[in-house]
């Protein structure tokens, strides 16, 4: 509840400051909004696992709110993310990693990817949303009858109409001025957080064969954890403890650090960013450390 109220408070404070006529207040508001957007993604993650609250109804309620702020429909997130946990380690069966299966990169595509990675342009967190949670046709390839595609479609439509109503109410230009810089900063941060978790780690390919999903305790080797400063890790409910999360997915994020185990792929956040940014974007995304020899 504290994390949920904290998100609402920071969001309102950020919007209030961003509406100010002074530059100091405006920039402060954008920093708060960036923190709110990132934290909304963290809350969405917890609610999707039904580990934010003990009551499933509260998880759904906060999940829809956080999903709206984070620009990810809750039901789509919950089902695709469940598939991610089931098939971690099988790159082509996990919707969130299937686009990174090694392939021939077209020259223009490579230039765009390398430029975005080098300049911190938040291309990847945008594509992550569009491909995995808004592209229903693609999502169908990774879902089955138990995933309630109709409910996901309804969620997409409702969130799209709600966003359109907000844009019409505030005005496109005014809304961009109000939240634009904070949203871009949040997406830049999420680029690093999301790509640090499984990218450039050796994984398997099923190539269409029936395979056995790896059990949670077997998924450590396919996952990476960034070690954030302790205070920041606490604020984001230990979202950086990604190996522990995959090994114990039913443990709430805010309790993960109570597990007395040091994962094998845990690395200091700044050390990892420096090493990863030395690689070209195409090299980082479409190969692994066995190929590159890079310590990332």
Mean pLDDT of the chain: 96
Q: Number of folded domains in the chain?
A: 1
Radius of gyration of the CA atoms of the chain, in A? 19
Please tell me the distance from the alpha carbon of residue 127 to that of residue 106, in angstroms, as a whole number.
17
Element (H, E) at 85: helix 74-86
What pLDDT was estimated at residue 123? 97
Whether the Cβ atoms of residue 33 and residue 7 lie closer than 8 Å to each other: no
Please tell me the distance from the alpha carbon of residue 90 to that of residue 203, in angstroms, as a whole number.
6
Whether the Cβ atoms of residue 17 and residue 29 lie closer than 8 Å to each other: yes
What pLDDT was estimated at residue 295? 79
Q: What is the DSSP letter of 204?
A: B
Identify any residues that bridge with 284 across adjacent strands, giving them in sequence order: none
**pLDDT bracket for residue 147 (50, 70, 90):** confident
Could you please report the per-residue DSSP string of 94-139? STTTGGGS--PPPHHHHHHHHHHHHHT--HHHHHHHIIIII-HHHH
What pLDDT was estimated at residue 279? 96
pLDDT tens digits for 209-223? 999 999 999 999 999
pLDDT tens digits for 97-125? 999 999 999 999 999 999 999 999 999 99
**Residue range(s) defining the domain that contains residue 152:** 2-292
């Amino acid at each position: 509840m504290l994390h949920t109220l904290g998100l609402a408070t920071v969001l309102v404070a950020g919007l209030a400051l961003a509406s100010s006529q002074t530059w100091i207040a405006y920039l402060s508001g954008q920093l708060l909004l960036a923190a709110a957007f990132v934290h909304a993604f963290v809350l969405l993650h917890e609610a999707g696992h039904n580990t934010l609250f003990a009551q499933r109804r509260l998880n759904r309620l906060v999940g829809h709110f956080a999903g709206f702020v984070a620009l990810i429909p809750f039901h789509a997130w919950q089902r695709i993310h469940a598939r991610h946990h089931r098939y971690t380690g099988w790159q082509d069966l996990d919707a969130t990693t299937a686009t990174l299966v090694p392939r021939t990169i077209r020259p223009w595509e490579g230039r765009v990817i390398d430029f975005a990675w080098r300049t911190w342009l938040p291309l990847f967190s945008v594509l992550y949303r569009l491909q995995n949670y808004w592209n229903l046709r693609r999502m169908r390839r990774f879902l089955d009858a138990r995933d309630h595609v109709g409910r996901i479609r309804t969620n997409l439509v409702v969130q799209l109409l709600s966003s359109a109503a907000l844009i019409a109410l505030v005005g496109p230009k005014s809304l961009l001025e109000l939240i634009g810089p904070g949203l871009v900063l949040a997406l830049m941060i999420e680029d690093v957080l999301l790509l640090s978790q499984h990218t450039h780690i050796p994984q398997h390919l099923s190539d269409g064969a029936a395979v056995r999903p790896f059990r949670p305790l077997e998924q450590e080797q396919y996952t990476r954890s960034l070690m954030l400063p302790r205070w920041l890790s606490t604020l984001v409910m230990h979202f950086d403890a990604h190996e522990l999360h995959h090994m114990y997915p039913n443990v709430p994020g805010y309790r993960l650090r109570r597990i007395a185990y040091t994962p094998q792929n845990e690395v200091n956040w700044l050390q990892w960013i420096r090493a990863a940014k030395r690689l070209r974007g195409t090299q980082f995304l479409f190969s692994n450390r066995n190929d590159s020899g890079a310590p990332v």
